[in-house]
Amino acid sequence: MSALSINLFGKFNVHTGGQTLEGFDACKVQELLSYLLVHRERPHTRESLASLLWGETATDKSKKYLRQTLWHLQSALEGHSGGSNDDGGLLSAGHDWVRLNAGSTLWLDVEVFERAFARVQGKAGKDLDEETKRIVEAAAELYKGDLLEGWYQDWCLYDRERLQNMYLVMLDKLISYCEAHRDYELGLFYGSIILRYDRARERTHRQLMHLLYISGDRTAALRQYERCVAALRQELDVAPDRRTAALHQQIRLDQLEERALPATEPETDNATPATSLPEVLGRLQQLQLVMSDVQRRIQQDIKAVQQALKN
C-alpha cells in the first residue's frame, strides 16, 4: 500500500500513488483532518475539537457532529494510512481524545516545510552550506499557495499567517545566499516573490535595490526605489525609512560599495518577522477587510437559508 501524501498548501488534496483519494469531499472532514495535521504534535480533547468546528452549536449536538465526522474520516482513511507503530492507522480516537499516530507512514507538505525552516533558524542566509540551501529551495517550492486557500476559520487564518511568514523568512535567506554567491538573477527572482505577498516589505526593496546595483543596473535599482516609495505610500501611508533613503542616495550618486547595505543587515528567524508599527497596522487593516467580507457573506447565507425555510 502506497503511503498517503497530503497537501495543505494551496488546495487541500489527499493522494496516494499519484491518484487523488475519494471520501474527503465533506468540508468538516477536510477541516478536522487539516487541523489535526497542522497541530499534529499533541492529542486533542473531543470537547476542544467539537467547540472548534461547531462553536455556534449546542455542546451535545457538536459532540454528535464530531463523532459522525470522525467516523467518515476514519472510513476514508481505512486501508490508505500506510500503517503505524501502534494500531495500523493514521488516526487514533479514544473516549475523550483524538490524535494522529506519529508512526504512520505519511508525507505532509507542511511537515517537510516546517522541518526545513527549523534547520535554518539561527543561520544567516549567506552562511548556508550547499545542502541546506537545496533543502530550503525544495521547501519553498512546496509552497504552492497559502495554507488551505479559501478557508476563513480563525485557526486557519492564524496558521496561514504563521506559515507565510516562515516562507518569507526562508526566501529572505535565499536572497542573502544568492547575493553572497553572486547569483544575482536568482536572488532577484526570490525578491519578486516576496513582494507579491507583501509589496510594502521595505527590507526586500532594499535587497533588490542592492542586487540590481551590484549586478550593473543602476537605473533598475533607482526604479526599484520608486516602487518602494509608491508601495509604502499606498499600503501604509508612510515614507521610506532612513536606511532606504540612504541606500537610494548612494545609488543615485554611484557611491555604493558592493558590501554595503543590505548585505550587512541582520536577518530575522522569527516565524513572525519583526515589523514596524505602521506595517502592523496595515496588516491588521487588511485582515479587518477580509473578516468583514466573511461576515457579509455569512449574513447573506443566513438570510438565504431563512428565506428557504419560510418558503
Report all structural domains of the chain as residue ranges with CATH numbers, in order of start.
4-104 (1.10.10.10), 109-273 (1.25.40.10)
User: Which runs of consecutive H residues, i.e. helices, occur in the chain?
Assistant: 27-38, 46-53, 59-77, 109-120, 130-142, 154-180, 184-197, 202-214, 218-236, 242-252, 277-310
Please, are residues 221 and 191 in contact by the beta-carbon 8 Å criterion? no
Reported confidence tier of residue 85, pLDDT bands at 50, 70, 90:
very low
pLDDT single digits (tens) 27-81: 999 999 999 999 999 999 999 999 999 998 999 999 999 999 999 999 988 856 5
- Cα–Cα distances in angstroms (integers) from residue 230 to residues 150, 209, 286, 307, in the given order: 29, 15, 18, 47
pLDDT on residue 78: 80
Residue 4, strand partner residues:
106
pLDDT > 70: percent of the chain: 79
pTM over 0.85: no
Query: Residue 111 and residue 6: Cα distance in Å, rounded?
Result: 10
pLDDT > 90: percent of the chain: 68
pLDDT on residue 233: 97
DSSP code per residue over 235-298: HHS----HHHHHHHHHHHTT---TT-TTTTSPP---SS----HHHHHHHHHHHHHHHHHHHHHH
pLDDT single digits (tens) 184-222: 999 999 999 999 999 999 999 999 999 999 999 999 999
Query: Residue 309 and residue 311: Cα distance in Å, rounded?
Result: 5
Reported confidence tier of residue 284, pLDDT bands at 50, 70, 90:
low
Asked if the model's pLDDT at residue 172 lies above 60, the reply is yes
- What is residue 4's three-state secondary structure? strand
Please, are residues 39 and 32 in contact by the beta-carbon 8 Å criterion? no
Query: Residue 259 and residue 214: Cα distance in Å, rounded?
Result: 9
For the ranges 40-44, 219-223, 270-274, 279-283, which has the lowest average pLDDT? 270-274
Please, are residues 211 and 217 in contact by the beta-carbon 8 Å criterion? no
Report the mean per-residue pLDDT for the chain.
87
Task: Determine phi and psi for 14, rounding to 5 degrees.
Answer: -120, 125
- Other C-beta atoms within 10 Å of 57: how many? 14
Task: Determine phi and psi for 126, rounding to 5 degrees.
Answer: -70, -15
pLDDT single digits (tens) 96-152: 999 988 667 789 999 999 999 999 998 999 999 999 999 999 999 999 999 999 999
Query: Residue 108 and residue 67: Cα distance in Å, rounded?
Result: 25
Asked if the model's pLDDT at residue 265 lies above 70, the reply is no
Asked if the model's pLDDT at residue 20 lies above 50, the reply is yes
Reported confidence tier of residue 23, pLDDT bands at 50, 70, 90:
confident
DSSP state of 230: H
> Which conformational region is residue 10 in: left (phi greater than 0), alpha (psi within -120 to 50 degrees), or beta?
left
pLDDT on residue 256: 85
pLDDT on residue 257: 72
Reported confidence tier of residue 302, pLDDT bands at 50, 70, 90:
confident
Instruction: State mean pLDDT over 254-270.
Output: 62
In which residue are the cell numbers 499606498 written? 234
Instruction: State mean pLDDT over 174-183.
Output: 97
